[in-house]
Amino acid sequence: MSERRGEAKAKKKKVNLTDEKTVEETMVEFPETEEVLVEEVEVDHEESDREKLEELNRRYLRVCADFDNFRRRTRQDQATSYEEGVMDTVQALMPVIDSLDSAIKASEKWETDEAREITEGIVLIGQQFDEALRKLGVVEIEGVGSQFDPNVHQVVLHAEEEGEPENVVTEVFRKGYKKGDRVIRHSMVKVVN
């Protein structure tokens, strides 16, 4: 242990024995280096803060854009769901519409006053039903006298009639309906060739 103390003293002596000029130069150089390091650290902190701020800003803008896209998709999904709901409901009611039309056609043949009153009632119910469909944006596909359109008409019968223009609907067997450009049910028609 005494040897180690002697070595420590010797080292101290070596430091104490160094040239004063060298020690002063070292002292002068060290603070300048320290100032430069402090300035570099401050600049690094500023650049690091700017980079963090820019990254946070980019993330914020990305989140805002994602949220706007989410809102737009949600609105589109709601509108699509509403349209599909209306179409499904109207399709489910098609047999009722067909029954009303059949009842009106059958009751037109009756000749008693009571039968006419029943017919008028059925016609009024049919008109109310048509009005309800119009409020939902559902319209009847054009029928007799319209040009045949395979997108909205289903040909059940072809007929050869002279004097009639070609590809014209002459009779509707079952009404068709559409909402906007989407067909809910095709019209079943007779067409002249």
Q: Which of the 8 DSSP states describes residue 175?
A: -
The structure's pTM equals 0.61
What pLDDT sits at residue 127? 92
Q: Are 183 and 151 in contact (CB under 8 A)?
A: yes
Using alpha carbons, list the distances in angstroms from residue 73 to 62, 85, 152: 16, 18, 30
pLDDT in tens, the chain (193 residues): 444 444 444 444 444 444 454 444 444 444 444 555 555 556 667 778 889 999 999 999 999 999 999 999 999 999 999 989 999 999 999 999 999 888 888 887 877 888 888 888 888 998 999 999 999 999 999 989 899 999 999 999 988 877 778 889 999 999 999 998 899 999 999 998 8
What pLDDT sits at residue 47? 79
| SS3 sequence of 101-120 | HHHHHHHCCCCCHHHHHHHH
What pLDDT sits at residue 45? 72
Contacts of 191 (CB under 8 A, 6+ apart): 148, 153, 155, 157, 158, 159, 167, 168, 169, 170
Rounded Cα distance between 191 and 157, Å, is 6
What pLDDT sits at residue 161? 78
Strand-pairing partners, residue 174, are 188
What pLDDT sits at residue 85? 92
What pLDDT sits at residue 188? 93
